[in-house]
Amino acid sequence: MSATQQLHTSLLRAPILHILRAQGFHSTRPSVLDTLVNLTERYLMLLAETTRDHALLNHNDPIPTVTDVRLALTDCGTLTPVLTAAEQDWLEKFRRPLEDFDDLKHGDIRREGESRRRDEQDTQDVRDFIKWIVGDQNREIRRIAGVLPESGPGGTVNGEDYLTVLKKKHSKTGEESRFQGTVLGKPAEDRPIKIEGGPVETLTEWNNLMHDHSEHQFPTTKDAAESPHEAEIDEQQLLMDVS
């Protein structure tokens, strides 16, 4: 396991522990925790790969949109569609086109209302998912994670989430450079990689060297086409010299 994978796994252990604590568990075996973390890792990877596949399929771009994420959440079972695919197709066929509302009395108002109603139907699964996340079922998880405001002598104040507390614990001076180049800090600056112990010092020089070597080793199409003809001319010249 690489250092990056170890960091991501370590960061994922804390949320799993908070979820277990919110559900009433006060202790667990390390093997059980590692199993839950592994299952979470696998699901997140499945969700990310499915989102990427939808992005490449929909617009041939690895950068996903909200639609790609929603489709991936549906494929992975997180979102439950209100209607099946067949029901959605029949609904679209029998729906009245929005342009027809323009010919009716107060058509603009009725068209706006119908458009709003359709948008609410189409996003019902997303709104239910968000409602479940911010609802009372997950309130205890948010409280333990430090996301909910806390009441104190000075009034209600916003608490610090566990990740901010964890970063301050490992870097009491608040120095961000400690986490630079990781998911917790700023991206690292690009620096050239120097190759030691060889004829070249950079990857660019190595690439150019390999390119020149391949050209000398494998002739181009033009050279390959001319080679038999040149060989035939050389053979004829040799026969003339012998005679």
First CA to last CA across the chain, in angstroms? 73
Per-residue pLDDT of 122-160, as tens digits, reads 778 888 888 888 888 788 888 877 777 766 665 565 667
Range of the domain at 217: 203-242
- Token representation of residue 218: 């494998």
Q: Are 101 and 216 in the same domain? A: no
Of 164, 179, 194, the position where a domain reaches its end is: 179
16 and 125, same domain (yes or no) = yes
In a domain, 192, yes or no: no
**Whether residues 7 and 101 fall in one domain:** yes
* Report for 54-58, 85-89, 98-102, 222-226: range of highest mean pLDDT: 54-58
On whether both 105 and 207 belong to a single domain, the answer is: no
Residue 229, helix vs strand vs coil: helix
**Whether residues 154 and 212 fall in one domain:** no
Contacts of 200 (CB under 8 A, 6+ apart): 206, 209
Query: What is the reported pLDDT for 163?
Result: 73
SS3 134: coil
Q: Are residues 221 and 164 in the same domain?
A: no
Q: How many C-beta atoms lie closer than 10 Å to residue 54's C-beta?
A: 20
| Residue-wise burial string across 177-209, b where 16 or more C-beta atoms lie within 10 A, e elsewhere | eeeeeeebeeeeeeeeeeeeeeeeeeeeeeeee
Residue 175 is predicted with a pLDDT of 57
In this structure, the answer to whether residues 223 and 159 fall within a common structural domain is no
Mean pLDDT value across residues 190-203: 70
Q: Are residues 175 and 220 in the same domain?
A: no
pLDDT in tens, 36-67: 999 999 999 999 999 999 999 999 888 899 88
Burial class (CB in 10 A: 0-12, 13-18, 19+), 238: exposed
Q: Is residue 79 part of a domain?
A: yes
Q: In the predicted model, what is the mean pLDDT of residues 236-240?
A: 55
The reply to whether 167 falls in a domain is yes
Mean pLDDT of the chain: 76
- 193 is a domain residue: no
Asked if the model's pLDDT at residue 242 lies above 50, the reply is: no
pLDDT at position 231 over 70: no
- How many domains does the structure of the chain reveal? 2
Q: Are residues 142 and 38 in the same domain?
A: yes
Whether the CA torsion 192, 198, 200, 205 is positive or negative: it is: negative
Confidence of residue 79 (pLDDT cuts 50, 70, 90): confident
Q: What is the pTM of this model?
A: 0.58
